[in-house]
């Protein structure tokens, strides 16, 4: 993008506070846009300032209410395109529908691919997102996708705790790659909890691969909604002799069921990011880390045609 093209940051209604923090970090005014609803629920969008020839970034996680937030984003993109923006980047800290990334049973949709098609058809030129549930979702797009990781923010937080005898735990086999990367960054050993899912809200854990006895553990995952995976893993880790149990997720889309489970669980602290507005409650140990600097740096580098991948290069702890 030409250096003469002015950078503009706008937000839908999903997470204005994060968008304001990003704009503050980047050093640009928070964009003035009206995002409202008609009496029948239809979304209305109007940019109240000139975006012609501008490099426009639209911040909108597609968290609950997912369909509403997704439609807002699509309509904002269309409005920016019709207003002659030079480039439109959809900044989606949390990418909803990413779990529906394959046809795992008959007669179901591959919704992640559908969302990619919708965003591209609406006029998005580029996507900036963080910790997709499945990395292959980035390949569903025919436009550039910059896929950031929350690990640098989480790594900084745990490095300050100085936990010497730490074990990073993957709550299932599918998360081993992410857990391995986290363990290397923190200089920790690795363990795996094998699990069997009973239903969408219930998890049955089977056994642990690795040694957690008399050690502090950190369960890492990309997303939690009901906290079933995390709390069930914590129960079996405690039964195998783990001391302090921490959990870390990039996206905490916490339901009332999750709050209740966390309140009763063996988890000392759940660490997450503000990729979505996080519901917290008394008695629930949730720490929310800000990713405005991470996303803001990504936006600046995209605008200046610089490397984005270097943002999540970490040196392993010695």
Please identify every residue annotated as catalytic.
195
CB 3, CB 272: distance < 8 Å? no
Work out the angle at residue 254's Cα, subtended by the Cα atoms of residues 135 and 34, and round it to the nearest 5 degrees. 80
In 3D space, the residue among 135, 13, 126 whose CA is nearest the CA of residue 64 turns out to be 13
Cis peptide before 65 (omega within 30 of 0): yes
The strand order across the sheet containing 7-11 reads 7-11, 55-59, 87-92, 126-130, 145-148
Question: Cα(100)–Cα(207) distance, rounded to whole angstroms?
Answer: 27
Give Cα 273 distance to the centre of its chain: 8
Question: Cα(169)–Cα(195) distance, rounded to whole angstroms?
Answer: 13
Encoded tokens for 252: 């905490």
Q: Which element (helix H / strand E) includes 183?
A: helix 176-186
Q: Which residue bears the tokens 């919704």?
A: 111
Question: Cα(92)–Cα(83) distance, rounded to whole angstroms?
Answer: 21
């Amino acid at each position: 993008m030409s250096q003469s093209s002015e950078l503009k940051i706008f937000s839908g209604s999903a997470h204005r506070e994060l968008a304001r923090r990003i704009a503050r970090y980047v050093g640009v005014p928070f964009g003035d846009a009206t995002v409202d609803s008609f009496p029948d629920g239809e979304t209305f969008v109007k940019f109240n300032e000139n975006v012609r020839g501008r490099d426009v970034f639209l911040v909108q996680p597609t968290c609950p209410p997912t369909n509403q937030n997704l439609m807002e984003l699509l309509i904002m993109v269309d409005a920016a395109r019709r207003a002659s923006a030079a480039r439109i980047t959809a900044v989606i800290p949390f990418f909803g529908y990413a779990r529906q990334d394959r046809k795992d049973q008959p007669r179901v949709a591959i919704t992640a691919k559908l969302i990619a098609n919708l965003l591209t058809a609406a006029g998005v030129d580029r996507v900036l997102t963080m910790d997709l549930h499945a990395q292959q979702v980035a390949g569903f797009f025919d436009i550039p996708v910059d896929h950031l990781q929350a690990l640098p923010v989480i790594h900084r937080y745990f490095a300050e705790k100085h936990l010497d005898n730490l074990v990073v735990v993957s709550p299932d086999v599918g998360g081993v790659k992410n857990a391995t990367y986290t363990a290397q960054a923190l200089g920790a050993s690795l363990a795996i909890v094998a699990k069997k899912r009973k239903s969408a809200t219930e998890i049955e854990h089977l056994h642990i691969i690795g040694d957690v006895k008399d050690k502090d553990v950190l369960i890492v995952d990309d997303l939690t909604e009901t906290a079933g995976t995390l709390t069930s893993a914590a129960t079996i880790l405690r039964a195998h002799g783990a001391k302090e149990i921490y959990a870390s997720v990039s996206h905490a889309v916490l339901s009332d069921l999750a709050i209740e489970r966390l309140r009763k669980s063996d988890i000392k602290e759940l660490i997450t990011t503000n990729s979505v507005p996080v519901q917290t409650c008394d008695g629930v140990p949730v720490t929310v880390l800000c990713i405005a600097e991470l996303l803001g740096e990504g936006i600046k580098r995209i605008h200046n045609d610089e490397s984005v991948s270097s943002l999540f290069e970490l040196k392993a702890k010695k």
